[in-house]
Structure 1
Amino acid sequence: MTTIGRACRDVLLTADPHAKVMLARSVARGWRLGRIGEACDVAMPERPARPDRPELLPPTQMPRRGKGGSLRARIAMLHALAHIEFVAIDLAFDMAGRFGAGFPRAFLTDWLRVGADEAMHFALLDRRLRSLGSHYGALPAHDGLWQAAQETAHDPLARLAIVPMVLEARALDITPATIARFEAAGDMVSAKMLRRIMRDEIRHVSAGTKWFRSATNHLSLDAAAHYQLLVQRHFRGGIKPPFNDSARHEAGLTRDFYSPLAS
């Protein structure tokens, strides 16, 4: 029987997008069925394997996506979202494999479920790109998400604060406007897909917030104050309104966490 540590590492070291999706979903299913041991017994790689495409550029060198609801602009947006979901697979399995030994078994269950969700989201977006005459890898992408993982590789509380509670929470803020853009362009298929993804992302932010609160409580730390400290220390982008307060609140990420950081 393999262990969850080895299984998570295998996901991270799989470069091919289709193979990564299939392995991520298989590992999550194997864990759920009790076919994978609980030990987090191997180190996670510093960087996951990546396919030859897309070309990874610094964020400042990314080409403009185009304006309005043109086909080109919609493809560029879907490609950017697909890349986010592709990296999010690795973020979830790295969370489990890197930090799982320090948490209850339910922590592993939550993040493996998140990883399976992200794999499903990527598959949906890549399928939609192909239906529009494109595919994942056809456009460049940036590596900012994994930079956040490297910045927080030493501290599970920092990882929880930055990835689900900043980056995924930001997706809750901006996705409604993105959905509206697709609807205005008459692309109801993409809009419906993004609504489905957003419902899952609320659950992901909720998992991050739950485990952050649990860990800070165990350490007798004020959760909101420690969150603010970690964000100021590890996140360079700033926490910017407008906020989707209702979605954040549904995920347990209340205003006392982020309002003092708003710029």
Structure 2
Amino acid sequence: MHSVKTMLSTHFSLKFKAFSSSSSSVLNHHHHPQWSGLQNWREGPINHNRFWGPTGPHPPPPLDVELDDGPIGSGCSLAEMGAVVLNTSDPLTKSKLSHMAYSRWRQQNLPIGVSQPPPRPARPLKPPLVSPKEIPAPKNSGLPLNVYMLHNLAHVELNAIDLAWDTIVRFSPYIELLGEGFFADFAHVADDESRHFAWCSQRLGELGFSYGDMPGHNLLWRECEKSSDNVAARLAAIPLVQEARGLDAGPRLVQKLVGCGDCRTSNIVARIADEEVAHVAVGVYWFVSLCKKMGRAPGSTFKDLLKEYNVELKGPFNYSARDEAGIPREWYDPSSKNNDDKKEQLSEVYERLACIISMEKENSSLNSTPD
């Protein structure tokens, strides 16, 4: 165990150093935009509203017994409990354990600790995982359109629980490099995602269906696996690409559900989309922080990583939600980058002109002597 950890640590450090020295880009030290609600989100109380009531989120009914024993109850650290969540195959149990792990870590002030993630998270027998091309079209799925869309969202949220815990557990040996705040933020994200899955699962049940009634794709986990050796790549691929896609898709999904006449589901989806802003903002915050440590410019580093790890960026983009979360447009939109470059070049030209004009003025005042 010790030798594996040492090997992992050495490999990670080498990868980190190699990447940080692979470009001559220097970090732009201008203040980076940040989501205005980030600090409030971090400091907020633990959210126990895991049941969707008649008017919105509520704590679950008393019959929904919390799992207060078992491996989460005896876990000694956040990373250890995270590994338990990753190794749990039943989706609703995974969701509950995720909330318990986060709550227990915060309430009992447990350490981050160190653990190892499984090669891939445990999954139930249903749904079968297929390639994105094999996912049936809505009309061939055998499900009503609103249920089809809700099932897809439930699948994304279940994966998101595992993506957050994998980030915590996989990079737990590097707490000195990353700092405790990194793990606190991703544990909070894991808790949010587990609540989102609980809402989706509850609503599927109310509509007479359940998670697993149609196949799911393994695209999200594949993106996660690509970035398992580099924390900067993980931040780029997951919060800044995959979760940002949720910001793009959320409003469209809400409109489609309203069009189906399913306002209850559309309200759930609207709340989930709203809460995803925090998760993208967390990704931006830690990506910029890591780039500072590497002496790299975040924008060019983001693009370099997407190219190196073969991560695809797809529009259409929800600019207002992305702006709110703090992702600069020039990171993901080439047309915006060109405009920014032109603005920078023009401002440099104006600065030079201003400098020349002031020098000319100084020279002329020095050379002008009274008659």
TM-score, length-scaled by structure 2: 0.67
Q: Identify the range of structure 1 (93-102 vs 173-182) with the bigger mean alpha-carbon deviation.
A: 93-102
Aligned pair partner of 1:259 in 302, 322, 333: 333
The Cα offsets for residues 56-115 of structure 1, whole Å up to 9 and x where unpaired, read as: 111111111239xx9611111111110110011000011111124231111111101100
Aligned pair partner of 1:153 in 217, 228, 232: 228
Matched, 1:37 2:111: yes
Matched, 1:104 2:179: yes
Query: d(CA) in 2 for partners of 1:43 and 1:89?
Result: 16
Counterpart of 1:124?
199
Cα RMSD between the aligned structures? 1.7
The Cα offsets for residues 170-193 of structure 1, whole Å up to 9 and x where unpaired, read as: 111111111101111211101110
Aligned pair partner of 1:219 in 272, 275, 294: 294
Counterpart of 1:18?
92
Aligned pair partner of 1:48 in 101, 121, 126: 121
Aligned pair partner of 1:193 in 255, 268, 288: 268
Question: 1:103–1:52: structure 2 CA closer, same or farther, 3 Å change rule?
Answer: same
Task: Report the number of matched residues.
Answer: 258
Pairwise CA distance, 1:140:
0.7
Matched, 1:210 2:270: no
Query: d(CA) in 2 for partners of 1:148 and 1:74?
Result: 27
Aligned pair partner of 1:85 in 157, 169, 188: 157
Pairwise CA distance, 1:235:
3.5
Residue pairs, 1:155-174, within 5 angstroms: 155-174=230-249
Query: d(CA) in 2 for partners of 1:214 and 1:208?
Result: 10
Contact 1:228 1:261 (8 Å CA) reproduced:
no
Query: d(CA) in 2 for partners of 1:138 and 1:108?
Result: 34
Pairwise CA distance, 1:19:
1.1
Rg larger in structure? 2
AA matched with 1:158? A
TM-score, length-scaled by structure 1: 0.94
Matched, 1:234 2:312: no
> Which sections of structure 2, spanning at least 5 residues, go unmatched?
1-74, 337-371
Query: d(CA) in 1 for partners of 2:272 and 2:310?
Result: 24
> Which sections of structure 1, spanning at least 5 residues, go unmatched?
none
Counterpart of 2:76?
2
Matched, 1:27 2:90: no
The ranges of structure 1 where at least 4 consecutive aligned residues each deviate by more than 4 angstroms after the TM superposition are: none
Query: Residue 322 of structure 2 aligns to a residue in which SS?
Result: helix
Query: Residue 139 of structure 2 aligns to a residue in which SS?
Result: coil
Query: d(CA) in 1 for partners of 2:309 and 2:204?
Result: 33
AA matched with 2:199? L
Query: d(CA) in 1 for partners of 2:80 and 2:238?
Result: 22
AA matched with 2:129? L
Matched, 1:76 2:148: yes
